[in-house]
Structure 1
Amino acid sequence: MSRILPHPLLTLALILMWLVLTRASLGHLVLGTAVGVGAGLVYARLETGPTRLRSVTALVRLAGVVALDIVRSNAAVAVLIVSSRRHRKSGFVEIPLRLQDPTGLALLAMIITGTPGTAWLEHDRASGVLLLHVFDLKDPEDWRHLIRTRYEALLLEAFA
């Protein structure tokens, strides 16, 4: 890894993707190369170091739980959108997390944001509190319990 190309495979993949998505020309090759090199340099600055994975089976179980929850959430949000809007109340929930690992937190952010009806708004690293927006909030304590027992517990098993 050099200072100019800290991630040569990432850079090459981004250049190729750029050329596939645009008409391949000399100008797009130059522009795609600039984007690829720039993205590689940015990614190198964001790296937190090697991730210590303790349990692959926890991640496999988490993938199954998340897949099931996304299907359920899609159905629930579709019903809410089609039905009367009177009964829906959006809101914010603060959830104290025990998870500190950056990779685990990034996965949790992707899970929450990728699940219809929820959005990860912010995480205070000092206090460990996650601010979550919920499309149809009935009981904040249910959401705290869900995030901590279904997702955070498996992420702690995998990364802590």
Structure 2
Amino acid sequence: MIGRILPRPLLSLTVLLLWVVISSSVTPGLLLLGSVLAVAVPLLTRSFWPNPPRLVRPWQALRFLGIFAADIVTANWRVARQVIGPLQRLSPAFIEVPLDLRDPFVATLLASVVSLTPGTVAIDLDQQRWILLVHALDAPDPQALARAIKKRYERPLREIFAC
């Protein structure tokens, strides 16, 4: 019963919390309106949400998030030094990363992780050929970057979601 009313409980909670944060005051009427939105938004958008694969190894997911956070910090530092330094040293490149995973949700998650890491942007996710097209600000060895993405991000995501 609750699953039909709240198909995405975390989304409902997020909508309600955001509503409270953006409201200038907390009154019973605003809380009621926020609650209605928290129920209505997930119900009305239910058909747009893919069914994500089940998280099989949550502890490994926490480890992955730690590695990803550290990569963001170090990549920010590296990109800042590259941008401040001589631009002639940069070797921008488009790189095709062949994917071993076949789950659209996890592939999109991988593309997001690559895009959130400074210095790289996922340009396209070809789900016909299962290739992730990445633009790198500096990739003197494009194949080494492709291998690093597969080892550092794709492999752990495949293990976390068992796909």
Task: Name the counterpart of 2:129.
Answer: 127
Deviations 1:115-153 (CA, angstroms, capped at 9, x unpaired): 111111111111100011111121110111001111111
CA contact (8 A) 1:90 1:137 kept: yes
CA contact (8 A) 2:111 2:132 kept: no
Aligned pair count reads: 159
1:110 pairs, out of 97, 109, 112, with 112
The answer for unaligned runs of 5 or more in structure 1 is: none
Within a 5 Å distance, the mapping from 1:24-103 to structure 2 comes to: 24=25, 39-41=41-43, 43-49=45-51, 51-103=53-105
Local SS of the residue matching 1:133: strand
Quote the Cα distance in structure 2 between the aligned partners of 1:8 and 1:153. Answer: 29
Which stretch of structure 1 is more off in the superposition, 30-39 or 57-66? Answer: 30-39
Aligned CA distance change for structure 1 residues 75 and 53 (closer, same or farther; 3 Å): same
RMSD after superposition:
3.0
Task: Look up the equivalent residue of 1:20 and give its one-letter code.
Answer: V
Deviations 1:92-128 (CA, angstroms, capped at 9, x unpaired): 1111101122342233122111111111111111110
Q: TM-score, normalised by structure 1?
A: 0.78
Task: Look up the equivalent residue of 2:68 and give its one-letter code.
Answer: V
> In the TM superposition, what is the alpha-carbon distance from 1:55 to its structure 2 partner?
2.2
Task: Look up the equivalent residue of 1:152 and give its one-letter code.
Answer: E
Quote the Cα distance in structure 2 between the aligned partners of 1:148 and 1:16. Answer: 36
Task: Name the counterpart of 1:155.
Answer: 157
Q: TM-score, normalised by structure 2?
A: 0.77
> In the TM superposition, what is the alpha-carbon distance from 1:64 to its structure 2 partner?
2.8
CA contact (8 A) 1:108 1:151 kept: yes
Local SS of the residue matching 2:134: strand
> In the TM superposition, what is the alpha-carbon distance from 1:31 to its structure 2 partner?
9.0
Which stretch of structure 1 is more off in the superposition, 134-143 or 64-73? Answer: 64-73
